[in-house]
């Protein structure tokens, strides 16, 4: 197994004296095989980016473990950590502007990769590698190289970052809303590129998105998150063909339809923060029309309803 996330929990404490706590990731368990593309889907604040950051070792879990090729990532010494960061795991985040220094030409983002990993590559070969990497994400190197970040669009900057991440040929790519700012046709090109890259290099991808359609398009497995917890996961086709959790159904029903116009449908159910986090039972109960007494009292355990399709909801058994 490439990556195993075991009972991962991250609690953030905000505010100074008597601050409040946010259970951003709550007892999350999943694993990713070599060459697998797994989508993490959920609404804003459901903990997707926090999971990405935990896997990248940018923040420490409150409890639980992350094993990479069987080794706890927090047990890595300096060398293993360097290797983990640059060779094994690469990430592309939503906001490309944060990754570029406005004072330097965009070419500079490739320097670190060459300094760290491709030390023995000649200048001519480096230029060729960068050129090919840029072309693979649909960019014309002549229009990109030598430019400053403010001279390029967000979509172009994002594709440069994707090109850089893939240049390393990582074992795992974490793409956190990485295609959200691309226009529709470029987005499909980049998704196809990720798929091809997986096929050619065996790279696994954690594809973080709000967009169910993108998750469906690209992934082998899908994980649906709600308020820090996984509520349903499994083979993408199974989850889409037979969505079981009331939240997954709600997400699928709320995908905009081309021939339906937006209309106000009334006030949302109770979603007050502290209250929901403190719930003993199912976190979705305040929004669930099917909530029973038991739902408010007992947190549903995941149940395998068919092979490779799990759901955590009392409607499908479990404790």
User: Are 131 and 139 in contact, with CB atoms under 8 Å apart?
Assistant: no
Range 254-262, long-range pairs (CB < 8 A, 24+ positions): 255/212, 255/213
Size of the site for ligand ATP (CB under 6 A): 13
Residue with smaller CB distance to ligand SF4, 59 or 252:
252
Question: By CB under 5 A, is residue 49 in contact with Mg ion?
Answer: yes
Question: By CB under 5 A, is residue 209 in contact with Mg ion?
Answer: no
Taking the CB of residue 201, how many other CB atoms lie within 10 A of it?
13
* CA 55 – CA 208 distance, rounded (Å): 13
Residue with smaller CB distance to Mg ion, 24 or 311:
24
Query: Please, which residues have CB within 8 angstroms of residue 167's CB and are 6 or more apart in sequence?
Result: 110, 113, 129, 130, 133
DSSP-based three-state secondary structure for 12: strand
Size of the site for ligand SF4 (CB under 6 A): 13
134 contacts which partner out of Mg ion, ligand ATP, ligand SF4, none, CB within 5 to 8 A by kind? none
In the complex, the smallest distance separating the C-beta of residue 14 from ligand ATP, rounded to whole angstroms, is 5
Among 246, 248, 251, 309, binds ligand SF4 (CB under 6 A): 246
In the complex, the smallest distance separating the C-beta of residue 169 from ligand SF4, rounded to whole angstroms, is 41
Site for Mg ion in 274-303 (CB under 5 A): none
Residue 61 has which token pair?
């879990």
* CA 49 – CA 177 distance, rounded (Å): 9
Site for ligand ATP in 190-219 (CB under 6 A): 210
> Between the CA of residue 6 and those of 60, 81, 161, what are the distances in Å?
14, 20, 29
Residue with smaller CB distance to ligand ATP, 22 or 38:
22
* CA 177 – CA 190 distance, rounded (Å): 12
User: Are 60 and 147 in contact, with CB atoms under 8 Å apart?
Assistant: no
The residues with which 204 forms a beta bridge, in sequence order, are: 172
* CA 270 – CA 9 distance, rounded (Å): 25
Of 63-71, 196-204, 215-223, 309-317, which part binds ligand SF4 (CB under 6 A)?
309-317
Residue with smaller CB distance to Mg ion, 91 or 109:
91
* CA 164 – CA 86 distance, rounded (Å): 11
Position closest to Mg ion via CB:
49
Question: By CB under 6 A, is residue 295 in contact with ligand SF4?
Answer: yes
Residue with smaller CB distance to ligand SF4, 52 or 246:
246
Residue 36 has which token pair?
């697998």
Taking the CB of residue 112, how many other CB atoms lie within 10 A of it?
11
Contacts with ligand SF4, 273-292, as mask; x by CB under 6 A: ---------x-xx--x-xx-
Torsion on CA atoms 171, 172, 173, 174, rounded to nearest 10: -170
User: Are 178 and 92 in contact, with CB atoms under 8 Å apart?
Assistant: yes
50 contacts which partner out of ligand ATP, Mg ion, ligand SF4, none, CB within 5 to 8 A by kind? ligand ATP
In the complex, the smallest distance separating the C-beta of residue 13 from ligand ATP, rounded to whole angstroms, is 7
Residue with smaller CB distance to ligand SF4, 27 or 180:
27
Contacts with ligand ATP, 27-66, as mask; x by CB under 6 A: ---------------x-xxxxxxx----------------
Question: By CB under 6 A, is residue 12 in contact with ligand ATP?
Answer: yes
- Where do contacts with ligand SF4 occur on this chain (CB under 6 A)? 245-246, 282, 284-285, 288, 290-291, 295, 300, 313-315
- Where do contacts with Mg ion occur on this chain (CB under 5 A)? 49
């Amino acid at each position: 197994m490439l990556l195993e996330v075991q009972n991962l929990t991250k609690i953030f404490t905000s505010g100074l004296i008597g601050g409040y706590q946010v259970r951003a990731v709550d007892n999350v368990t999943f694993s990713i095989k070599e060459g697998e593309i797994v989508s993490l889907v959920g609404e804003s604040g459901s903990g997707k980016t926090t999971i990405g950051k935990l896997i990248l070792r940018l923040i420490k879990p409150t409890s639980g473990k992350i094993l990479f090729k069987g080794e706890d990532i927090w047990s890595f010494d300096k060398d293993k950590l360097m290797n983990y960061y640059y060779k094994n795991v690469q990430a592309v985040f939503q906001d490309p502007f944060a990754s570029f220094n406005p004072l330097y030409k965009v070419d500079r983002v490739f320097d670190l990769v060459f300094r760290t990993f491709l030390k023995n590559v000649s200048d001519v070969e480096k230029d060729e590698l960068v050129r090919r990497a840029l072309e693979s994400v649909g960019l014309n190197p002549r229009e990109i190289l030598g430019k400053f970040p403010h001279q390029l669009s967000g979509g172009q900057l994002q594709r440069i970052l994707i090109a850089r991440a893939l240049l390393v040929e990582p074992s795992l790519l974490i793409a956190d809303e990485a295609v959200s700012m691309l226009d529709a046709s470029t987005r499909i090109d980049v998704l196809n590129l990720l798929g091809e890259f997986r096929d050619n290099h065996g790279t696994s991808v954690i594809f973080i998105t709000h967009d169910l359609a993108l998750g469906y398009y690209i992934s082998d497995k899908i994980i649906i998150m709600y308020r820090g917890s996984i509520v349903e996961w499994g083979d993408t086709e199974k989850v889409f063909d037979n969505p079981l959790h009331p939240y997954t159904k709600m997400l699928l029903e709320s995908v905009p339809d081309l021939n339906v116009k937006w209309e106000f449908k009334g006030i949302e159910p109770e979603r007050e923060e502290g209250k929901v986090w403190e719930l003993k039972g199912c976190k979705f109960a305040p929004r669930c029309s099917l909530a029973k007494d038991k739902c408010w009292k007992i947190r549903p355990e995941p149940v395998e309803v068919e092979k490779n399709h799990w759901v955590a909801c009392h409607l499908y058994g479990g404790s």
